[in-house]
């Protein structure tokens, strides 16, 4: 994919995810891996509901700016880590929904999900009789330390993880797959919230 096509795709998905309430107040960041291995990513502080071309930049596989004086967001490291770990991944979406923020604070170090039809939205799962373990990491402003923590749990899980009191990372081979995985996680978070509400005595 060219940089120009990626910019268009990111502007479009930013608007769609913002409209669903998953990217409030300039939070989150979105990226696409380009054909040459570089990455198109939102700059920090950009409002995702109305992204412009100037809100996107290109970084290399290590997260350093290419032909750009701007500094990429510190969280760029978490994007490049996912691309480096999974050669098939083409899109990473990081959101800050209310449900991801609330539920992640109620969980331990992982979120165990089983017996739900929606799990089939994730790669390699073809029956509801499956168990998925989503890692939950403590929030940290030190991205190198956080990435080190993520590194230890990234390899065998579903295409996403939670950061406590912060948000969700989800990814996929292309934009459709990444959005599908993100929607599945958000659906599961809503189920988790409702289940906790109705079973509270
Ligand atoms: Zn974030």
Looking from the CA of 11 toward its CB, the CA atoms found within 13 Å total 14
Distance of CA 114 to the CA centre of its chain: 21
Residues of the domain holding 171: 3-198
Q: Which residues of 160-190 are buried (b: 16+ CB within 10 A; e: fewer)?
A: bbbbbebbbbbbbbbbebbbbbbbbbbebbe
Looking at residue 70, its pLDDT comes to: 86
Residue 129 Cα, ligand 1 centroid: separation in angstroms? 32
pLDDT at 124: 85
Any idea what the CATH number is for the domain that residue 10 is in?
3.40.225.10
- What spacing in Å lies between the alpha carbon of 199 and ligand 1's midpoint? 30
Q: Please give the distance, rounded to the nearest whole angstrom, from the Cα atom of residue 23 to the centre of ligand 1.
A: 9
Q: What per-residue confidence (pLDDT) applies to 8?
A: 96
Divide the 201 residues of the chain into consecutive groups of 10 and give the mean pLDDT of each group. Answer: 94 96 92 96 92 95 91 91 96 96 95 89 87 93 93 89 97 97 96 90 63
Q: How many domains does the chain have?
A: 1
CA distance 166 to 105: 9
Closest to 192 in 3D by CA, of 19, 184, 93: 184
Alpha-carbon torsion, ordered 199, 129, 125, 103, to 10 deg: 10
User: Which residue is it, tokens 């939950």?
Assistant: 136
Query: How many angstroms separate the CA atoms of 171 and 169, rounded?
Result: 7
Q: How far is the CA of 95 from the centre of ligand 1 (A)?
A: 7
| Centre of ligand 1 from the C-alpha of residue 187, in Å | 19
Q: What was the pLDDT predicted at 96? A: 96
Sequence-distant (6+) residues with CB within 8 A of 5 are none
> How many angstroms is it from 74 CA to the middle of ligand 1?
9
């Amino acid at each position: 994919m060219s940089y120009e096509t990626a910019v268009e795709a990111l502007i479009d998905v930013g608007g769609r995810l913002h409209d669903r309430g998953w990217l409030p107040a300039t939070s989150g960041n979105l990226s696409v891996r380009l054909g040459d291995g570089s990455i198109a990513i939102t700059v920090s502080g950009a409002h995702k509901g109305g992204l412009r071309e100037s809100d996107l930049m290109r970084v290399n596989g290590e997260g350093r700016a290419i032909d750009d004086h701007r500094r990429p967001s510190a969280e760029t490291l978490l994007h490049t880590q996912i691309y480096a770990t999974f050669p098939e991944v083409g899109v990473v979406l990081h959101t800050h929904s209310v449900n991801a923020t609330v539920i992640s604070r109620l969980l331990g170090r992982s979120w165990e999900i089983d017996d739900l039809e929606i799990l089939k939205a994730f790669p390699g799962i073809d029956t509801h009789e499956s168990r998925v373990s989503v890692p939950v990491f403590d929030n940290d402003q030190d991205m190198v330390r956080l990435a080190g923590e993520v590194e230890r749990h990234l390899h065998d899980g579903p295409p996403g993880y939670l950061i406590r009191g912060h948000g969700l990372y989800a990814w996929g081979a292309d934009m459709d797959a990444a959005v599908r995985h993100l929607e599945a996680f958000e659906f599961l978070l809503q189920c988790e919230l409702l289940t906790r509400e109705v079973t509270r005595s």
